[in-house]
């Protein structure tokens, strides 16, 4: 049986390499107006995904374009629900208008991190997404609150980051820290290969954590993202592993 690895990427965020990245991934998470993106970029990115047989996902965030959705926002439960619903619905309708289908949802930035740790925000997100009459996967962080609340309600896809370091609590190292990003292509491969093959995540303090992931994310704004993806393809192929849907 052929081995495959599932790689996703956040796109439609104004980056200049979307067209080069799209053929190299399994799934894309499309910015839908919260931290980035507009109707034009959503249509364009959906079409690009369909041309490359890439799964289409919505990538909602706090409505904070100024900070690219990377800062926590204090919002009422109702306002947060309305924001997420509006973003997801926009992308869902655009995908369908282009003849495609929304396959998954992945939160962005601070909302992703908050839902991983904060029970209240995790519940708000899960309650909100249950309002959609749709069959989609929900990408969730390893060892997260949102995965607990969403279990049995959605088809969960556990996600690990190819280009980010973790601490011993499965939290991502803050982007403000110098070791937050993994940018050398060899290091990215070793990081992912360990999780894919052995279900082991090596964190900065030297600890080894269990990490059984269904999908691995590489950020489109990571330096040399295209080069890294090509390197992953080449090196996984040498191990008899193909990137799914490419």
75-117 pLDDT per residue, tens: 999 999 999 999 999 999 999 999 999 999 999 999 999 999 9
Supply the pLDDT for residue 155. 96
- CA-CA distance, 79 to 235, in Å (whole number)? 45
Q: How confident is the model at residue 34 (pLDDT cuts 50, 70, 90)?
A: very high
Helix, strand, coil: what percent of the chain each, to 5? 40, 20, 40
Summary mean pLDDT of the chain: 96
Is residue 238 classed exposed, middle or buried when 0-12, 13-18 and 19+ CB atoms within 10 A define those classes? exposed
Nearest to 37 by CA among 72, 110, 87, 1: 87
Supply the pLDDT for residue 134. 75
Least confident of 15-29, 59-73, 130-144, 181-195: 130-144
- CA-CA distance, 147 to 33, in Å (whole number)? 24
**What are the residue boundaries of the structural domains of the chain, listed by start?**
3-243
Q: How confident is the model at residue 236 (pLDDT cuts 50, 70, 90)?
A: very high
Tell me the average pLDDT across 198-210. 93
Counting residues of the chain whose pLDDT is more than 90, the rounded percentage is: 93
- CA-CA distance, 138 to 150, in Å (whole number)? 8
Q: Taking 70 as the threshold, does the pLDDT of residue 202 lie above it? A: yes
Supply the pLDDT for residue 56. 98
Helix (H, G, I), strand (E, B) or coil at 231: helix
Q: Taking 60 as the threshold, does the pLDDT of residue 246 lie above it? A: no
Note the CATH number of domain 3-243: 3.20.20.370
Q: Taking 80 as the threshold, does the pLDDT of residue 147 lie above it? A: yes
Nearest to 4 by CA among 231, 183, 225, 216: 216
Give 202's strand partners: 208
Q: Taking 70 as the threshold, does the pLDDT of residue 71 lie above it? A: yes
Q: Taking 70 as the threshold, does the pLDDT of residue 198 lie above it? A: yes
Supply the pLDDT for residue 156. 97
Supply the pLDDT for residue 133. 76
Is residue 156 classed exposed, middle or buried when 0-12, 13-18 and 19+ CB atoms within 10 A define those classes? middle
Supply the pLDDT for residue 199. 97
Those residues whose C-beta lies under 8 Å from the C-beta of residue 68, and which sit 6 or more positions away, are: 13, 35, 36, 109
């Amino acid at each position: 049986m052929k081995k495959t690895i599932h790689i996703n990427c956040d796109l439609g965020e104004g980056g200049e390499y979307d067209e080069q990245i799209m053929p190299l991934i399994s799934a894309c998470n499309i910015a839908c107006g919260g931290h980035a993106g507009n109707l034009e970029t959503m249509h364009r990115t959906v079409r690009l995904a369909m041309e490359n047989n890439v799964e289409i996902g919505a990538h909602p965030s706090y409505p904070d374009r100024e900070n690219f959705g990377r800062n926590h926002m204090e919002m009422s439960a109702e306002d947060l629900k309305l924001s997420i619903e509006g973003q997801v619905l926009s992308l869902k309708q655009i995908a369908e208008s282009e003849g495609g289908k929304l396959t998954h949802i992945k939160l962005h930035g601070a909302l992703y991190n908050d839902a991983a740790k904060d029970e209240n925000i995790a519940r708000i997100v899960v309650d909100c997404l249950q309002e959609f009459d749709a069959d989609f996967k929900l990408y969730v962080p390893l060892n997260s609150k949102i995965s607990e609340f969403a279990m049995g309600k959605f088809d969960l896809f556990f996600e690990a980051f190819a280009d980010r370091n973790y601490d011993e609590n499965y939290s991502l190292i803050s982007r403000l820290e110098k070791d937050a990003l993994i940018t050398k292509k060899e290091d990215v491969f070793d990081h992912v290969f360990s999780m894919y093959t052995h279900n082991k995540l090596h964190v900065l303090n030297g600890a080894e954590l269990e990490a059984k992931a269904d999908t691995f994310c590489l950020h489109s704004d990571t330096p040399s993202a295209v080069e890294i993806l090509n390197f992953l393809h080449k090196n996984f192929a040498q191990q008899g592993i193909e990137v799914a849907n490419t």
